[in-house]
Amino acid sequence: MQGQDLLDTFLSALTGPCRVAGGEPVLVCVSGGMDSMVLLDLARRAGQVLGLSLGVMHVDHGLRGRESEEDARFVEERCRRLSLPFHLARLCMEPLAANVEEEARERRYHAVREFRELGGYASAATGHTLDDQAETIIYRVIRGTGIRGLSGMDYRRHDGIIRPMLGMTRAQVADYAARHGLDFVHDASNDHTRHARNLIRRCIMPVMRQVNPRAAHAVASLAVIARQEGDVLERLADDLGHDAMVFDWSIIRAFGLHELGCAAEAVLRRFLIGTIASMTGEQRGMDAEQVDRVMRVVGGDAAAHAVRRKVRVCRDGNLLVFHSMGKRPHYVLAIDRAGDVSIPGIRQNVHITLPVGYSGRLVLRSWLPGDRMEGRRVSDTLSAMRVPGCLRPFWPVLASDGGVVAVASEGPAAGAYSLVMGGRDHGR
């Protein structure tokens, strides 16, 4: 593929699956390696055609000491010559951290997302290629994955990260760099096969190419098929979640076990993955072992399972409950007046009534074990109200320094203090 053809491919990806509009500000993520320097050159040339406003971001993980600093200076100097804004993010990571490869990836993406939003960029471009796509899918297969994992990387993520070089092979990128005399740095850590992705790139992919010289293309084609079939499963899983939902308080959600039990296993698994991913904010989903453990909870073979210490899945009678894990209380709001209050953490509204002329200190928070109101345990009050056990740790109470003064109810409440919930369906 000639240079102009590669630029045409890049432009087609930008305006097509990457959904970049003319005149938009785009942040280009540049490590200084060959792929990212080709990305920068193509983005600069495409920017002249589409009128894009470009900025460049370099992430220094701090894992390679002086080499990391030299890479940052290399990218900064290139930006100075191109008159492009340069932004540097220093992560100061520890090289001996557990699973440093995965941690570096997560922290890098977090930094890019954060700066993209703060800098007002519509999207952030990375230099992932077709070979990276194939290596990612193989990595997921080895870890254990489903159709969602087989779909690989997309041209555009939900968070604005785009991959306009995803249809180009690494050989085409290398040819482009040579033809245009592009300088780049070499990250020696990419040579170490102790990292899983490097091992796949340097040892597994060459063996696969002995069987099929176009092995990377074949694996990438699998991703397209998996994404198409995954979209169908996604729609079925969404329908299942809607039909089975009993209540949704954002950080705690409950679904009917009967409805879930009637679903096809593939749809149920996709529903579980999607629900947990939406609660953790990690759209990469879960590996097969984690899904199997949650499936045991659904089937009644296990009482509960915690996913990455972020979301707990458990059974509560005829309900399957997902709730965020963390310190209690789950929310605390200072209250200085009567009226309507929205509780963002659980997406619920309450109406507060206070004694005439009250001027004390109150907080609206979730129930805590040991809470008492007028000498009675609040847990007994919640039980008498038939609040599901799983929902009680998230239930709103109004508290003063002396203890709880009101418990949220779903109808008119008597007394000088009262909390009335908005709606009777627990936020479905």
What integer pLDDT is reported at residue 225 of this predicted model?
95
Please return the burial class of 9, using the count of CB atoms within 10 Å of its CB with bins 0-12, 13-18 and 19+.
Answer: middle
The answer to whether residues 352 and 418 touch, using CB atoms and an 8 Å cutoff, is: yes
Q: CATH topology of 3-128+163-211 equal to that of 237-324?
A: no
What integer pLDDT is reported at residue 285 of this predicted model?
61
Structure tokens at 80: 């100075």
What integer pLDDT is reported at residue 424 of this predicted model?
40
Please return the burial class of 25, using the count of CB atoms within 10 Å of its CB with bins 0-12, 13-18 and 19+.
Answer: middle
State residue 420 phi and psi, 5-degree precision. -120, 125
For the beta carbon of residue 80, count every other beta carbon within 10 angstroms: 10
Q: Tell me the domain boundaries of the chain.
A: 3-128+163-211, 237-324, 332-421
d(CA 386, CA 289) in angstroms, rounded, equals 36
Read off the DSSP letter of residue 203.
I
Per-residue pLDDT of the chain (428 residues; tens, 9 = 90+): 455 689 999 999 999 999 999 999 999 999 999 999 999 999 999 999 999 999 999 998 877 778 888 999 999 999 999 999 999 999 877 766 557 777 888 889 999 999 999 999 999 999 999 999 999 999 999 988 888 889 999 999 999 999 999 999 999 999 999 999 999 998 777 777 878 889 999 999 999 999 999 999 999 999 999 999 999 999 999 999 999 999 999 999 999 999 999 999 999 999 999 999 999 877 666 777 889 999 999 999 999 999 988 999 999 999 999 999 989 999 999 998 899 999 988 999 999 999 988 888 899 999 999 999 999 999 999 999 999 999 999 999 999 988 999 999 987 766 789 999 874 444 44
Contacts of residue 234, defined as CB under 8 A and 6 or more positions apart, other chains included, come to 270, 274
The answer to whether residues 25 and 120 touch, using CB atoms and an 8 Å cutoff, is: yes
What class is the 237-324 domain? Answer: alpha beta
**Alpha-helical segments (H) within 51-129:** 66-82, 100-119
User: 3-128+163-211 — its CATH code?
Assistant: 3.40.50.620
At CA 381, angle to CA 378 and CA 385, rounded to 5? Answer: 140
For the beta carbon of residue 303, count every other beta carbon within 10 angstroms: 11
What integer pLDDT is reported at residue 97 of this predicted model?
58
> Strand 332-335 relative to strand 362-366: parallel, antiparallel, unpaired?
antiparallel
What integer pLDDT is reported at residue 79 of this predicted model?
97
Entry pTM? 0.73
Residues paired with 120 in a beta bridge:
none
